[in-house]
Structure 1
Amino acid sequence: RDLTTITGQKPAVTKARKSIAQFKLREGQPIGCHVTLRGDRMWEFLDRTLSLALPRIRDFRGLSPKQFDGRGNYTFGLTEQVMFHE
């Protein structure tokens, strides 16, 4: 619900591909969610994130250029959604 409010899109649930006993993880168990943003929604979200949300993080040290994959996609995770005022 939070991700839908922040991005304006319904997130897709990420499920575990295989069981891992050390993590107490079962195959098919939901472990996260993701949203793919394109076009105007992408630029709007990027602008809000860089100008409003990330500066609110207390220990924010910038974004790492190592998070780009070979196709120009940038990936980062957020542990809390408190920084978004939505």
Structure 2
Amino acid sequence: MNASSPAPTAQAPTTENVNRAVRIIKVVVNAGVGQSGEPRQKAERVLQMITHQKPIATRSHSTNRDFGIRAGQEIGAKVTLRGPSAVDFLNRAFEARDRQLDSDSIDRNGNFS
């Protein structure tokens, strides 16, 4: 670079970076009850009412005698929403919270809980 050439300047980007756009890949709605039987079935009914999809049972990974849980016991339920149903669920959930989010609920990777 010779002395007569101007220094390189930063140019304003001409197009927006598509990777900066927020994309919703999936929404997982989870209800951990900690016991099987009627409480877990009630959690499944609530998840089905709010998501309009059939939930699947979640199982414990290990035995915990203090809580009376055995390995493999069904102790919760979850539903995975993708596509338009995920966006619709998030819109309804944000309406219920008056369209406000707590900044502590978002981790450094952009996940919201």
Paired residues, number: 67
Q: TM-score, normalised by structure 2?
A: 0.50
The 3-state SS of whatever aligns with 2:87 is helix
More helix by share: 1
Structure 1 residue ranges (4+ consecutive) displaced by more than 2 angstroms after TM superposition: 60-63
Structure 2 stretches of 5 or more lacking a match? 1-44
1:36 and 1:3, CA in 2 relative to 1: closer, same or farther beyond 3 A?
Answer: same
- The alpha-carbon deviation at position 30 of structure 1 amounts to 1.5
Structure 2 residue 86 is the aligned partner of structure 1 residue 45: no
**Distance of 2:101 and 2:78 partners within structure 1:** 24
Q: 1:81: which partner in 2? A: none
Q: Counterpart of 2:76?
A: 32
The SS at the match of 1:20 is coil
Q: Paired residue for 2:27?
A: none
Cα deviations across residues 35-80 of structure 1 (Å, max 9, x unaligned)?
100001000000000112x34xxxx9725112x7x5x654x3xxxx
Does 2:17 align with 1:17? no
Change (3 A) 1:34 1:19: same
Q: Which has the higher strand share?
A: 2
- Cα distance in structure 2, aligned partners of 1:39 and 1:61: 21
CA distance in 2, matches of 1:42, 1:73: 14
The code of the aligned residue for 2:79 comes to V
Gaps of 5+ in 1: 77-86
Q: TM-score, normalised by structure 1?
A: 0.63
Alignment partner, residue 102 of structure 2: 62
